[in-house]
Every structure is written in C-alpha cells, then in structure tokens.
Structure 1
Amino acid sequence: MKSKLDENRIKQGVGGQAVIEGIMLRNKTHYVVAVRKPNKKIDFIKHKVEANKNKLSKMFFFRGIVNFIDMMKLGYKTLVFSVNTAGLEEEKEKNKKNLTKEENSKKESVAMTLSMLVSLFFAIGLFIALPYFITTLIGINEKEHVILFNLTRGVIKLGIFIGYLLVISLFSDVRRVFEYHGAEHMVVNAYEHGLNPDMNNIRDYTTIHPRCGTTFMFLVLTVSILLYMFTSYFVYSYIYAAYIPPKILGNLTVLAMNIILLPIVSGISYELLKLGFIFYNFPLMRLAILPGLLLQKITTKRPKDDELEVALFALNKLLDDSIGERSEEEVKAEIEKENEAQLCV
C-alpha cells in the first residue's frame, strides 16, 4: 500500500536524470552519478553542489533561467562521465593519458561549450525555425492572422517534438536510457512517499513524476506559443508598420525575437513547473500538466532489475552522509586496476 507524500523529503529536492548506463541524483547539497561498468559492477562519483553566488538564482522568475543553465552544465558533465565509465570512449581515454591535468580540463571545457552550442542551435533550428517556416509555406499570413499563424505553428512544433521523441525511442540504446529514466522516477517517488526504497517496494511506484524535465519541455513549448503570439503582434503592429521592411525581413525579425525570448520562456516555464508540483493534488492543476505527464509515457519505460539496482545505489550514496566525495580520477584509477587484473588472468 502506498504511503502519503512526505513534505520534509520533498523539500530536500531530490531529483536527477538518466545517463548512459546509469543515473544522476542530486539534492540541495550533493550530487551522485552511478554507472554500471562493462564488468557489471556499479561505480560512482559524488560531489558537493557548488552554491550559486549569482543573486538572480534566488529571485523569482530569474532563478528558472539560472537553474536551466546550471542543469545543462551538470547534465553534460555527468553524461561525459557515464560515457567514459560505461566503456564507450576507451580510445579517447588512452589519448588523454598523454595530456596534463590542466590540458585535459581545458579540452573538456572547450568540448562542453561546443557541445552545448551545437545542442542549442539544433534545438532552435528544429523547434523554432522549422515550425515557423513550415507555417509560412502553408500560406498563412502572419501579419493578417497572428493568432491562427501562431496556433498553427504551435501545433506543428508540438508535432515535431512528439515525433522526435517517438523516433529516438525506437533505438535500443535510447530505450535503455528511457528505462533508467523510469528507474530514477520510481526511486524518487518511493523516497518522497516516506519509504526507504528497496527492490521490493519501489516496484509499486510509477515512472511518472510531475517535476520531470519532459514536463518542463512541454511547458516551454506551450508558453512559447502564447508568448510568440504577442511577439508577432508587436512586430507587425509597430515595428513592421513603422519601417515597412520587406516581408522576409519581417519574418527574420520575428524569428530573431523568438530566439531572444527563450530565457524568458524558460523562466516562466520553471515557475509553472514548481507551481504544478506544489498544487499537484488540485484537480485543475493536474489537468493543466496532464499533457506533460502523458509525454513521460514516451521518455520513461519500466526498468529492468539491473537498472533499478543502479537507481537504488545512486540514492543510497547520495543520502549517506558518511560517504565523502569521490572524484572521476578515483573511478578511472579503479577501472585501470580492474583492467590490469583482467590482463593478468
């Protein structure tokens, strides 16, 4: 029988994400990344969460923008660790041995920046530019039919997003990540309901969680539809009317403003996500975030026992204050020892 939500545990803010062959979990003080290695053993890193000294991180609305950037950075770091530990980049690790620690750090920093920029440009192209130009090609005049144009663009944008998730879920490697995502949610749900999660009691809990990043992405798409509607109206009622630029320039102006407004969209979406979780028991609020929860049916799958084991391992390491920090270097050294031992056999 499921217990009620434990408010004290919810305030600890335990959450995370799936990575390659593992899970990242964090609370307000630490984060842990647990990964299953090729030899089937589970290893982990544990670090303190660096306090964000930026005053904006505490301010309503702005905290959503700051938190989004921080999570992107942490997400990349944890993903790199999981890829290396799962044995998917052994050749790159060999090449790193010829570099100093400073050179490795600089190289990883450049790689992280480039990766984030590529991801950002890909997202802008797929979910902002493409829906905009498809709607334009359909023949709807944005200047004359602002609401219809943006509603059509919104439907196309949601269709692309859902289609993208469905397509990538067909790949076995991505499906396994989605299973780890489900395991993460099940463990967090059990913990927030006051249990000491184990392999038996977590199976009663759902793979759906209201604070999930998938729900956040749905909110981002929904908020953008409404906000961009006002953007189009402003451009075509004031800027376009005053300067009368060519049609293509008007389109590019709207598109540029859509991109500039992305931080505002993420800030609003973050506050709505927090509001949705706080008032989750209210029927109207549940109805409002229901589409985001339904999308999690795609991005989370029922996990296998070995995936649940990794999720439990991550939670236990996170909550155990007697376990100090464990670095990536320690994990690499452990892997090297194991590899040497195998060669001697």
Structure 2
Amino acid sequence: MAYSGIGGQAVIEGVMMKNAESYAVAVRKPDHEIIVEKKEYGGICKNERVRNLIFVRGIINFVESMILGMSCLTFSASFFEDEEEKEHERNQKKEKAEMGITICFSLVLAVAIFMVFPFYMSLLFQRFVNSETVVILIEGILRLLIFLAYILLISRMEDIKRVFMYHGAEHKCINCIEHGMELTVENVKKSSREHKRCGTSFLFVVVIITIIATMFIRVDSRILRLALRLAIVPLVAGISYEFIRLAGRSENPLVNALSRPGLWMQKLTTKEPDEEMIEVGIASVEAVFDWKEFVKSIREKENDDI
C-alpha cells in the first residue's frame, strides 16, 4: 500500500478531504446535488521548524484537526438548517466565537469524562485494594470501558449512523487509491473501510498510552496525581500521533500487529456507505488530489520492481 498523504473526516451528509494545506468539503444537499467547497488552511503555527518537531507536531496536528473539523461540520450543517438558523449563522464573527467556545467546551468535557471521572472512581477501590499498581490499572480499565461505551452509545443514534457511513466512504476512497486502483464507485466499494491513520485509532492509542503513562505517576497527593495526569495529555497526544504517523507509512509486521486493535475499533465508527455517499467521497478527493497521477506512479513503480 502506498502512502498518499491525504486524510479526511466525515461531516453531516458529506466528506472533508485534506491534502497539505488544501482541503475540500463535499456535501450531498437535500436536493441530491453535490456541492464542493475547496479552501486553504495554513494552520495555527506557521513556523515549519516548530511544526515538524517530533511529538510537538502531534499536538499541533490534533488542535488543528479539531478547529478544521468543527469548521467543516458547521459548513455541512448549514445546508440542513431552516431559514431562521441560516440567518443566525451569517454573522461570521459570532460564528467564530461560538466555534471557539464549542471547541473549548468539548475539550473540557472530554478531560472530565475520560481523565477526571475514572481517576476519582478508581479511588473508591483503595478501600478494598492495597496495591497502588492495581488501583492505577483499574483506573485505566475504567477509562477504556468509558471510551468503548461512548462509541457504542453514539453508534446507535440514527444521525451518527449516517456520519459513520460517510466515514466509511472516506476510508474506502483513500484505501482505493493507496492500493493503486482507479477512483471509481465500483473500486471504492471493493476497498476496505478500515485505515491505520484513522482518528479512531489515534484516540484508542491515546487511551492505551495514557494507561501505561499513569503507571509511573506515583505521588501521595491526590490533587498532584490528578494534575500530573492532566499535564501528560499533550505528551500522550504527541506520542500517539507519532505511532499513527508511522503506521500509515509502514507495513512492518510488528507495527501492523499493534495497529490491529485500532482497526477493530473502526468497525464501530465506520459503516458501509451507499453509492451516493461514495460519489461524495470521490468528489472531495478529486478537489484536492490528483489521484490519476498518483495511481500511475504506483503502477510504474510496480513495473520497475518486476
């Protein structure tokens, strides 16, 4: 499998694809027309040296993905709002402020649910368990169970099911071209809906690395223990990004084996798309990526290797 460098995200009735600084959002409107918006996104950090620092680039990428993802979701949702809501959203300054508040609230909520809550729940077990290692392990298991429960819960929502179908379309389009096939509906349908560079895999790796990292945080003060857990979040995100980045470029058997649990998780966050969804994914790819040239280069390399 060749590395294309493109990545994406499912949005409401659509797909966003990003290649370098260019990104495109393709949305299937209520009248079934596909509309594509292509833009440039330079990111939050313009310094290339800083952007490419190992571990630091993962943190930057995570924040940028949240900002861009929220913007694309807002854009796709605008086609399914009534006239009053559309009028309300026309104030760009207000929209940006609301987006910033939403992102901050999402981060605070995520930290509270996945970091703070499991920590305090695990403290209840200290009454029955003398081993600090076991208590920390219980905390990690609780964190993993909350993550799994969250995905299972949202996967039952009808609107989310459609988003997960578009998520599948996004993956299948990328897999199609990275396996050297022409980007057609039929070829995309035959492609896998799991991909090693998926955000689901990233979040799963974050949970696992957090469990490992907290094993080394051993101080008496509960407040300090919690503070240190929160302090390592950026480092954990950076390490997780490096693994996902490596996995997307490597076919090493060990890397593939370590990637497998994340791929299993994607069976929950991706669903098989229909042909109309695949067409949206293809439109998004074609707006930012010359897949014909890419597939041609793969075939030429294969011929040279023969």
TM-score > 0.5, shorter chain as reference: yes
Q: What residue is the counterpart of 1:84 in the other structure?
A: 78
How far off is 1:226 after superposition? 1.3
Selected match of 2:100 from 90, 99, 113: 113
Selected match of 1:202 from 173, 185, 188: 188
How far off is 1:160 after superposition? 0.8
* Distance 1:72-1:298 versus aligned 2 partners, 3 A rule: same
Q: What residue is the counterpart of 2:304 in the other structure?
A: none
Selected match of 1:167 from 144, 153, 165: 153
How far off is 1:129 after superposition? 1.1
Selected match of 1:139 from 126, 134, 142: 126
Q: What residue is the counterpart of 1:342 in the other structure?
A: none
For residues 91 and 15 of structure 1, the distance between their equivalents in structure 2, rounded to whole angstroms, comes to 34
For residues 145 and 220 of structure 1, the distance between their equivalents in structure 2, rounded to whole angstroms, comes to 25
For residues 83 and 194 of structure 2, the distance between their equivalents in structure 1, rounded to whole angstroms, comes to 34
How far off is 1:90 after superposition? 3.7
For residues 127 and 32 of structure 2, the distance between their equivalents in structure 1, rounded to whole angstroms, comes to 56
How far off is 1:96 after superposition? 4.4
Contact 1:83 1:89 in 2 (8 A): no
How far off is 1:318 after superposition? 1.9
Secondary structure of residue in 1 paired with 2:185: coil
Residue type of the partner of 2:31?
Answer: N
Greater shift, 47-56 or 69-78, is seen at 47-56
Contact 2:89 2:95 in 1 (8 A): no
Q: What residue is the counterpart of 1:44 in the other structure?
A: 36
* Distance 1:226-1:90 versus aligned 2 partners, 3 A rule: farther
How far off is 1:150 after superposition? 1.7
Selected match of 1:318 from 273, 284, 288: 288
After superposition, give the CA deviation of every residue in 1:106-138 in whole Å (9 maximum; x if it has no partner).
Answer: 212211111011101111111111111221123
Residue type of the partner of 1:68?
Answer: F
After superposition, give the CA deviation of every residue in 1:200-255 in whole Å (9 maximum; x if it has no partner).
Answer: 11111110000000000011001111112212x2x23xxxxxxxxxxxxx222211
For residues 209 and 167 of structure 1, the distance between their equivalents in structure 2, rounded to whole angstroms, comes to 22
* Distance 1:197-1:109 versus aligned 2 partners, 3 A rule: same
1:143-154 pair list within 5 angstroms: 145-154=131-140
For residues 119 and 96 of structure 1, the distance between their equivalents in structure 2, rounded to whole angstroms, comes to 20
Q: What residue is the counterpart of 2:14 in the other structure?
A: 22
How far off is 1:95 after superposition? 3.0
Q: What residue is the counterpart of 1:304 in the other structure?
A: 274
For residues 29 and 127 of structure 1, the distance between their equivalents in structure 2, rounded to whole angstroms, comes to 31
For residues 89 and 152 of structure 2, the distance between their equivalents in structure 1, rounded to whole angstroms, comes to 36
Selected match of 1:263 from 234, 239, 246: 234
How far off is 1:145 after superposition? 2.7
Secondary structure of residue in 2 paired with 1:13: coil
TM-score scaled by structure 2?
0.89
Contact 1:140 1:149 in 2 (8 A): no
Q: What residue is the counterpart of 2:23 in the other structure?
A: 31
Structure 2 residue 125 is the aligned partner of structure 1 residue 127 = no
Q: What residue is the counterpart of 2:260 in the other structure?
A: 290
Identity of aligned residues (%): 37
For residues 193 and 88 of structure 2, the distance between their equivalents in structure 1, rounded to whole angstroms, comes to 39
| Runs of 5+ unmatched residues, structure 1 | 98-103, 237-249, 322-345
For residues 187 and 17 of structure 1, the distance between their equivalents in structure 2, rounded to whole angstroms, comes to 12
TM-score scaled by structure 1?
0.80
For residues 277 and 200 of structure 2, the distance between their equivalents in structure 1, rounded to whole angstroms, comes to 20
After superposition, give the CA deviation of every residue in 1:283-310 in whole Å (9 maximum; x if it has no partner).
Answer: 2222212111100000001111111111
Superposed CA RMSD: 1.8
Contact 2:126 2:135 in 1 (8 A): no
After superposition, give the CA deviation of every residue in 1:152-210 in whole Å (9 maximum; x if it has no partner).
Answer: 11111111111110111111100000000000000000011122211111111110000
* Distance 1:110-1:49 versus aligned 2 partners, 3 A rule: closer
Q: What residue is the counterpart of 1:70 in the other structure?
A: 64
